[in-house]
Amino acid sequence: MGCARVVRPSLPALGACFKCGLPGVARVECTKQSLCRECFCRQFEERVRKANYRYKLLRRGDVVGVGVSGGKDSTAMLYVLSKLAAEIGGITLKPVFVDEGIRGYRSEAGLSAEALCRQLGLKLNSFSFKDAFGVSLDEAVAKRGVKGLGACSYCGVLRKRLLNSACRELGCNKLAIGHTADDFCQTFLMNFLRGDAAANGKFGVFVNAGVKGFVPRIKPLAFNLEADCEVYCRCHGLPFYGCKCPYSKEAFRGLAEDFLNEADAKYPGAKFNFLSCFLSPSGKRPRRASHASCPSCGESYSGSAPACKACEVLGALGVRRL
């Protein structure tokens, strides 16, 4: 399959569902058993409810910014959150799309995000690197020089900043991010490989609660795998963009991803076992890091650096800061 948007794609036949006997569309690798469409979707949604119950992610009166990229993870997240919000009641969802400025990629993904929001009757709120920072990601990569940061470092820092400021502008009290169990495991492993295991203490399912300047982040897909998100989208005929970012080949995350996929294939359930080592079963939030106000832009940031990471990377590029 190429890089076109995926709308109502077909599902593979995987034998009978071990729960009800209907034709299977997904396989539970831990047990080598199949699930039909209905049983799989119920399991996927129950895992989101589990995250919500354990970490108290959504409550009546919440105005939740939902980061959508047009990819399978955020597509599945927005769809299941729309169902969960209707069940709970009194919750407003505001999809937020960030255009980093990646030629031939982000614009196509944006079409999928727009199609999904139309399907759900939601307004898509769009923001761009170019408008906010005066530089697109493509331009940042061209400016970085030989010793510049990797594309994902620029993107990660600036995207996080823009999502936070966008949610404040939209009046959101929470921001939902489509991080899956895979993303959690990859981040934990990357921190170890970088020699920064302490960073795992700041990473969780519900973070930045009560920290001035930050919209608290919730991660409803913490107990679902990335592959399950694609199956869930296919089950519901949801439009999503099926192509990887052209800069992903530069990412250190790819090394962690390959290692964990290989480990999980050889030892089914390895990802969930790894995840359980870091996520508190009691549902307590991770400890808060110390924060200060950046002297350049006034935003809150953690660490002992003289300025926040966003100002650091923008200053290195010689473009305007926030």
| pLDDT over 90 at 289, yes or no | no
141 within domain boundaries: yes
| pLDDT category of residue 7 using cuts at 50, 70 and 90 | very low
Collect all residues with Cβ–Cβ distance below 8 Å to 130 and sequence separation of at least 6: 99, 101, 136
pLDDT at 181: 94
Q: How far is CA 217 from the centre of its chain?
A: 10
310 within domain boundaries: no
CATH of the domain at 192: 3.40.50.620
228 within domain boundaries: yes
Return d(Cα 217, Cα 67) in angstroms, integer.
Answer: 10
Which two tokens mark 139? Answer: 């331009």
Amino acid at 213: G
| pLDDT over 50 at 98, yes or no | yes
Q: Which residue has the higher pLDDT, 4 or 215?
A: 215
Q: Which residue has the higher pLDDT, 28 or 238?
A: 238
| pLDDT category of residue 321 using cuts at 50, 70 and 90 | low
pLDDT at 9: 45
7 within domain boundaries: no
The model's pLDDT over 170-217, given as tens digits with 9 standing for 90+, comes to 999 999 999 999 999 999 998 888 888 777 777 789 988 778 889 999
Taking CA atoms, 67 is separated from 29, 125, 282, in Å, by 29, 10, 27
143 within domain boundaries: yes
Pairing of strands 240-241, 5-6: antiparallel
Please provide the DSSP assignment of 111-179 as one string: HHHHHHHHHHT---EEEEHHHHHS--HHHHHHHS-TTPPPHHHHHHHHHHHHHHHHHHHTT-SEEE---
pLDDT at 207: 87
6 within domain boundaries: no
| pLDDT over 50 at 236, yes or no | yes
Averaged pLDDT for residues 4-15: 53
Averaged pLDDT for residues 39-59: 95
pLDDT at 284: 44
| pLDDT over 70 at 290, yes or no | no
Q: Which residue has the higher pLDDT, 280 or 70?
A: 70
Return d(Cα 9, Cα 185) in angstroms, integer.
Answer: 28
Which two tokens mark 262? Answer: 């290989």
| pLDDT over 70 at 3, yes or no | no
- Of the candidate ranges 47-51, 88-92, 174-178, 246-250, the one whose mean pLDDT is the lowest: 246-250
The model's pLDDT over 108-157, given as tens digits with 9 standing for 90+, comes to 899 999 999 999 999 999 999 999 999 999 998 888 875 677 888 889 89
Alpha-helical runs (H) found in 267-317 = 270-276, 309-317
Q: Which residue has the higher pLDDT, 302 or 136?
A: 136
Could you tell me if residue 216 is left (phi over 0), alpha (psi between -120 and 50 degrees) or otherwise beta?
Answer: beta
In total, how many domains does the chain have? 1
127 within domain boundaries: yes
Averaged pLDDT for residues 219-243: 94
Q: What percent of the chain has pLDDT over 70?
A: 89
pLDDT at 147: 66
pLDDT at 312: 83
Contact in structure between 49 and 212 (CB atoms under 8 Å): no
pLDDT at 199: 78
81 within domain boundaries: yes
Domain residues for 131? 51-289
Return d(Cα 77, Cα 232) in angstroms, integer.
Answer: 10
pLDDT at 4: 37
pLDDT at 38: 93
| pLDDT over 70 at 280, yes or no | no
Collect all residues with Cβ–Cβ distance below 8 Å to 175 and sequence separation of at least 6: 64, 65, 66, 67, 96, 163, 164, 167, 215, 216, 217, 218
Averaged pLDDT for residues 218-232: 95
**What does pLDDT average to over the chain?**
86
